[in-house]
Structure formats: structure tokens, C-alpha cells
Structure 1
Amino acid sequence: DEILEKQASARTAAEREYGIDSDHLDSLISTVQEEGYVILPNLLSPEEIETIRREADPLLEHDGRTEFEGYKTRRIYSVIEKTLSCNPVVEHPLVMALLDRLFMPNYLLSQLQVIKVMPGEIRQPLHHDDGFYPLPRPRKPIGAALIWALDDFREDNGATLVYPKSHLWGDVPSADIDVSKMVPAVMPAGSAVFFLGTMWHCAGPNNSDKPRLAATTQYCEPWARQQENYCLAISRERAKQCSPKVQSLLGYSMLFPFIGFVNGRDPARLLRD
């Protein structure tokens, strides 16, 4: 199959470019496929975390509007239009290498948020991130996501709760899930938990006396619709300031030969004209 051959070739080239050990990737992918998630320690430097914090803090002004957003949780949407500080998170080499193994070429960024969970926030409703695609389970994931710890993630401050192996389930009402069997993704600042879009999870309650800062990057197959409408949320001038990889993830790319073209051509040309 030509598409699979191209995908394998791109994957090998990317792993070589990133300097990432193929055996290590194999181990991470095996864990993800078995458990539904894996914790990736110490991906961000203290300097990268501080840059995101400095840029994000003035924008984290408003509490959430719904139970899902969290009435004591603050979020930044359209992040790249407002700050470029999260771009290294979006295109982190290890994350790209993992996604190269899971999805078709030119997969997309589905959404990016910076999230500040305030003290007293309750547990978020259970969900899986590609549950809005109306396709029955069990099935292959259409997306994958990361929650990035910009503060230490502890059980008391609401570390993300994951349900191991739940990515293998069929259609299950969230009310039937035993929350006591969920596992907190405890990890130091700079780490991330990577999980499949079919895995059940939620933000834990923040029972501490300090906020917990996080970011989330979510990705999807190149044939699936993104959650954020980046052609409207991110201006073309802003997209021109991003790397070619981030541009591709935003949607200035195609699933060849026909998905995503503009005037019959690759939309990446729009940023060069």
C-alpha cells in the first residue's frame, strides 16, 4: 500500500532527524497500546516552563463557564494567536515521533490550551477525548493527547486521573465507570502524560491551597475535523511566524491527494505567496 509505505518512510526519517532511539519508541508505543497511556518525564526545561508561565499568566483571567470547563478552572484558547511560547510543546520531537507511529502523515493539532486549575476545583466529568466523533467503540483512536505538567502534578492538587486499559472498552456510559480504579498521573513539572483519544480520564480535584498550571495538546488524524477552527482562530500572519511543522499541524498541509487543498493546491503555499 503506497500510503503505508510513505508513512513508514516518513516515520523512519523523523526518528533519524529527532535522534530518538527506535527501541525506546517501540517500548513507549507498546505501553500506550497496552495501557492506553504513558508518562513521559522531564520533557521541558525550567526555562521553557517559566516562559510559558510568564506569557500565560496575564491571559488566565476568567473562570470556566460549564462543569466540564470547571467553574474554578481558567483556560486560554487560540493560544498560538496570543503567544508563541507553547510552540515547543506543540512540536516536541518525542511527541512527533510517537504520533508518526500512530497516525497517517500530516496529522493535525486538534486543540491547544493552557489550563490553570484553582484551589477548590472539583473533579472534572469523565470523558475520552475523541468521544465527539460519532463512531462506535471499540475502535482505533482518531486522536491522541498530552497533558503537560507546568507545576508538579500531585494527587492532592488534582493530577489527571486515567483509567488504565479503558481505551479497549466498547461504548460505556460514564456513570457506570468505577472512579476508584482510576490512577493519578503523578509527575514532576516539565513532564507529560500521553494517552490515546479512546482512553477515559479527567482532571482530578484540586484539594491543595495553590493553583495547578498545565497545558494540553491534542492531535487527530488528517482526515478528521479539528476541535479548534484554526483557519479562523489563528491569523495567516501569525501562522507565518511558526515553524513549518507547526504550520502543518495547524492545517497548512494535506492528506494527499485530495483532503485539505486550497484552489487545487497545497495550502502551505498560502504562507509563501
Structure 2
Amino acid sequence: MASYSLPRPSANHTPTLRFHNKPYDASKLEKSDLFIYHVLRVCDLINERKSNFDGLNMLVELSFGDQPQHSIVIDSRSKRTNILERLPEDTQADLATKISPEFVLDVMEGRINAQQAFRLYAQPPCPGAFASRFSALGPPASVVSRDELDLESLPKPTENIQQIKDDLKKWGYAFVANALTADEVKVIRTALEEQAAGERQAGIAHMASLHKSSEDEPDQRVWNLVNKGDEFLDLLNHPLIDAIMPWFLGREFGLFAMTANIVTPRSTSGIYMHTDQMDMTPNTANHPYLLNIFWYLTDVTDEKGATRIYPGSHVKNVAPQQIRDVGGSIPAAAPAGSCLLLDSRTWHSTGINRTDSSRPIICLTCCRFYIQRMEKHDLFLSEETKERLSDRQRALLGLPPKQTSNGIDKRGWGSIYKLGGIDAGRLRVAV
């Protein structure tokens, strides 16, 4: 059973529809019985797949609750992994962590990425090599390090759309040269910095410190940019969207989110290697769910916190050995006005900005038509912004077109199929 469940049903409106006495009705189970069932299921899966832990050379105590009987010990210190009921006498575990069994099942049955589960739900958090061995895809291989690559063959800024597509397919990222002029960069950067300052002054700014040390200032995230000025809305008219998104994501793609990440200067920390579809199910490397466009509003260098990327990590079951370290990644450096395109399967991290000035970047992310948007535009856009949207922008945001008469399609761009009667209400004829 998955960790996620809906709220309990309310009473049905139709008295004769009761759905009683179903043997699979989990709401009738005692929580303690359900917990024990999940613990036993996890232990069975770990025993079945214990060879996945071979080579870790660790003694790990994995607890599912507060009682000793609700734990398991994974001993991979010898050639073959052994599963124990308790720690050997006078022995201390290399790692001891606690996590609800439902989350482990989500990982081992392919509903959530192992790194996310053991980062968000384990206490203490323990993403990394141990977590990766629970993956439903099997133990990942190591990512290819920069020392193993021909750096001259890696993507470079270009306006050749075929080269951009080829780079995306081969490496999981690409650069677009001269996407914005110097004047356009100035206009958009000014709008972003003023918006960020306004949110700080209003006390509503999202200051992100999750992956930074206590000595470093937090970075600032600015969400839902489409609601925060015409300069950001205008980016939705950029021809790069038309040139790359339908090819990469297919028809009916939409805007997943449009955010900014302003990395603070003089930092010493902040690395967290991840992929952008870690939270999406099924957990797969077979196809991407998203494509990011990072708009560079300053010259982005390694020293200034360029995004760290593992080239080619998008098409294989791989993971970095070190999640909180740059490791063998490369910096995605490019001049202001460039764009970085990033496949959602590619392993990457925000870089560390060691300069004396901030690193502002806008991230415009699009998704396949069946993916739920991160920013729910129908809820979080003001009525004033909605009135200003063109039909193109409304289509990207999943909103119906303004005109709904004289033959204009009321269903909007967000429906692939011609669904007769979809906008009707209750309409009954006795039969």
C-alpha cells in the first residue's frame, strides 16, 4: 500500500450506493495491523533483494518504528550481504536511521525516487549510496565523471536548432546562444531584482537554506513569475518555446512552473545533486516528464555558481556517489543572454556562488500534457493577470481561451480529444 491516501469518504448522496464490506477496504483496518503488514512486506522485499546491498561495506540499522522488533539490520561488510534481526553484540552501526515502512515500499515498488524518500522522510536524512540500493530499478551505476569525458565535445552555446536538439538527446542538456539581447537581459533582470526586493521588504520572500550551511546566507526563490509583471509574461512569447518544446514534450505541453533562483554571493555550500523528476511516478529513466529553460541574466561562471551537471546522466540508471558534493560534475557556464536547456532526468545541482554579486536565473519549465502543474495557475493568478493573458499564454497555463462563442473551441488547447458533452451539467431523460 502506498504512503499517500485520500481523505476518508463522506456519506454518499445516493442511499443505495453504500460499497460496504469490501475485503480490500483499508479504512477498516487497525493502524497497528496495517503498520505490521507494511513492516513485514518491506522486510520480505529487502531479503529478496539483499544482493542489491553487496559492496556497500556498511552495517546499517534501519528502524520503522520505536520498538526494537520493528527494525532490520543490513550487514554488507562481507562479500555477500546478510540480513539480521538485531545488531551484533558490542557493535555499533555505521548508519542508524528511521523511516516509515510505507515510504520504503513506495521506493521499492517504483512510486518514488530513493534519494527523495531517504532525504525527506528518514530521520536522520540519509540520501546517497545506501538509499540508492532500494531503487526499484536496481542499484544504479556511477555517473560518468568529467575526468572520463572529452570536454571539448560537450555542448556549447549555439543558435543552430538541430545542434541544440542533438545536444539535448546526447548529453541531457544544451545551450542556446543570444536568446536575449543585452537590453532584454537588463529589462528582465531589473524586473526580477525589484520583485525579489519587494517580497523581502514585505516579509513574504522564500529564502531557501535547506542545502546551505548555517554560515551562508540563504538563496531567494521567486515563485509564480507569470503573476508578477509583464516582463515575465512576455517570456512566454519567446520563439525558443515553439522551436523546442513540442519536439521534446509532444503536443499539448504546458507550463509546469516559472520561477527564479537568486543565488547569494560569498557562499561555501549549497550542493544537492538531484533530478527534476525525482518526485514523479513511475520513477523512470526511459523518458523525461519536463524540460527546463534557464534564462541567464548575468554571466554565469563556475565561480559564480553555475549549475553543476553530470553530462549524459539522463538515459541510464545512474546516480552520483556523493549527493552533497560537486564530485565529477561540470559547470554549465555561459554568458548573459544565453539559455541552458535541461532534461528533467539529468543529475544536477545549483552551484556555489563564490563571487561578490548574486546570480539571478529564471527557470521556465514545461511539462507533458498529463503532468499536474507545480504552479496551479487557475488558483494563483490574479484576475487582473488573467485578463491580460493572450490565448497563447492561456494555452500554456492550461486556461481556456477568452472567446467561447461563434465556433471558438470552449475546451481550449488542453484537450487532445473532442469530448462531446464535457461542459454539460445534469441532463436526464427517463429511459
Per the normalisation by structure 2, the TM-score is 0.52
Q: Which residue of 2 aligns with 1:263?
A: 423
Q: Does 2:298 align with 1:151?
A: yes
Structure 1 or 2, whichever has the larger Rg, is: 2
Counterpart CA distance in 2 for 1:90 and 1:129 is: 21
Question: In structure 2, the residue corresponding to 1:180 is in which secondary structure?
Answer: coil
Moved more, 121-130 or 23-32: 23-32
| Structure 1 residue 33: Cα displacement | 0.5
The answer to whether the 8 Å contact 1:136/1:170 transfers is no
Q: Does 2:199 align with 1:52?
A: no
| Structure 1 residue 228: Cα displacement | 0.9
Pairing 1:90-239 to 2, within 5 Å after superposition: 90-121=236-267, 122-170=269-317, 172=319, 175=322, 179-239=326-386
The answer to whether the 8 Å contact 1:43/1:192 transfers is yes
Query: Do the aligned partners of residues 194 and 144 (structure 1) sit closer, same or farther apart at CA in structure 2, a change above 3 Å counting?
Result: same
Query: Do the aligned partners of residues 262 and 184 (structure 1) sit closer, same or farther apart at CA in structure 2, a change above 3 Å counting?
Result: farther
Q: Which residue of 2 aligns with 1:254?
A: 414
Q: Does 2:137 align with 1:33?
A: no
Moved more, 236-245 or 74-83: 236-245
Question: In structure 2, the residue corresponding to 1:247 is in which secondary structure?
Answer: helix
Counterpart CA distance in 1 for 2:422 and 2:356 is: 50
| Structure 1 residue 59: Cα displacement | 2.2
Counterpart CA distance in 2 for 1:68 and 1:262 is: 46
Question: In structure 1, the residue corresponding to 2:275 is in which secondary structure?
Answer: coil
Question: In structure 1, the residue corresponding to 2:314 is in which secondary structure?
Answer: helix
AA of the residue aligned to 1:204: G
Q: Which residue of 2 aligns with 1:67?
A: 210
Question: In structure 2, the residue corresponding to 1:91 is in which secondary structure?
Answer: coil
| Superposition CA RMSD, Å | 2.6
Counterpart CA distance in 1 for 2:220 and 2:187 is: 18
The answer to whether the 8 Å contact 1:105/1:255 transfers is no
AA of the residue aligned to 1:31: D
AA of the residue aligned to 1:35: W
Moved more, 94-103 or 64-73: 64-73
Question: In structure 2, the residue corresponding to 1:151 is in which secondary structure?
Answer: coil
The answer to whether the 8 Å contact 1:161/1:203 transfers is yes
| Structure 1 residue 211: Cα displacement | 0.8
Identity percentage over the alignment? 22
| Structure 1 residue 236: Cα displacement | 4.2
State the number of aligned residues: 241
Q: Which residue of 1 aligns with 2:227?
A: 81
AA of the residue aligned to 2:169: Q
Query: Do the aligned partners of residues 30 and 157 (structure 1) sit closer, same or farther apart at CA in structure 2, a change above 3 Å counting?
Result: same
The answer to whether the 8 Å contact 1:163/1:183 transfers is yes
Query: Do the aligned partners of residues 173 and 231 (structure 1) sit closer, same or farther apart at CA in structure 2, a change above 3 Å counting?
Result: farther
The answer to whether the 8 Å contact 2:208/2:218 transfers is no
Counterpart CA distance in 2 for 1:173 and 1:156 is: 22
Query: Do the aligned partners of residues 90 and 160 (structure 1) sit closer, same or farther apart at CA in structure 2, a change above 3 Å counting?
Result: farther
AA of the residue aligned to 1:89: L
AA of the residue aligned to 2:245: L
Moved more, 99-108 or 170-179: 170-179
AA of the residue aligned to 1:142: Y
Question: In structure 2, the residue corresponding to 1:56 is in which secondary structure?
Answer: helix
AA of the residue aligned to 1:51: V
Counterpart CA distance in 1 for 2:233 and 2:287 is: 27
Query: Do the aligned partners of residues 208 and 229 (structure 1) sit closer, same or farther apart at CA in structure 2, a change above 3 Å counting?
Result: same
Q: Which residue of 2 aligns with 1:10?
A: none
Moved more, 176-185 or 213-222: 176-185
Query: Do the aligned partners of residues 178 and 208 (structure 1) sit closer, same or farther apart at CA in structure 2, a change above 3 Å counting?
Result: closer
AA of the residue aligned to 1:86: F
Render the CA deviation track for 1:130-188: whole Å, top value 9, x for unaligned. 22112122210011102111011011110111110010122647746973321111111
| Structure 1 residue 124: Cα displacement | 3.4
Counterpart CA distance in 2 for 1:90 and 1:171 is: 33
Counterpart CA distance in 1 for 2:369 and 2:345 is: 17
Query: Do the aligned partners of residues 178 and 57 (structure 1) sit closer, same or farther apart at CA in structure 2, a change above 3 Å counting?
Result: closer
Counterpart CA distance in 1 for 2:317 and 2:303 is: 31
Query: Do the aligned partners of residues 68 and 228 (structure 1) sit closer, same or farther apart at CA in structure 2, a change above 3 Å counting?
Result: farther
More relative contact order in 1 or in 2 (CA 8 Å, sep 6+)? 1
| Structure 1 residue 39: Cα displacement | 0.8
